[in-house]
Amino acid sequence: MQPTIVKIDLQRCINCSLCRRACPTEAINFFSTGHRTHIVEPKDCIGCDLCVQVCPVDCIHEDTDYVVDPGELAIAREKARAWAKRQHWIKVQRQQRATAAIGAVSARNGGGSNGRHA
């Protein structure tokens, strides 16, 4: 099954960057050419539709003219897997730092869980 490659309607786009932040393959790029513009690089798009889901003005739609190259799709999917691994590792690190901080505060407060000084 071929993915649904998307494009951004630049007339409706409010340049909020939510789509760019959500994209697991970094297929959405920002350009400043006198007018802020977000562009989908079709060869990097895997059709996950995360950008469509986060767009507050519904300006991201299927690009029916784009023909998917299987080699480019494989590369884009690998980029998405690497992105997911990075996101997972960032989450794990945050959880570890939070646990360490809680332990340090708890130890400093004498091991009590109420956060009040004795």
| DSSP code string of 50-95 | HHHHH-TT--EEE-TTPPPPHHHHHHHHHHHHHHHHHHHHHHHHHH
In a domain, 100, yes or no: no
Supply the CATH number for residue 23's domain: 3.30.70.20
Q: What is the pLDDT of residue 104?
A: 87
In a domain, 108, yes or no: no
Domain count, the chain: 1
In a domain, 86, yes or no: no
Q: What is the pLDDT of residue 25?
A: 87
What residue numbers bound the domain in which 49 lies? 6-80
Query: Residue 18: in which H helix or E strand, if any?
Result: helix 18-22
Q: pLDDT of the chain along its 118 residues, tens only?
A: 556 789 899 889 998 999 999 998 888 988 755 667 888 988 888 888 899 999 999 999 988 887 777 788 788 888 888 888 988 898 899 999 999 888 888 888 876 555 454 4
Q: What is the pLDDT of residue 20?
A: 92
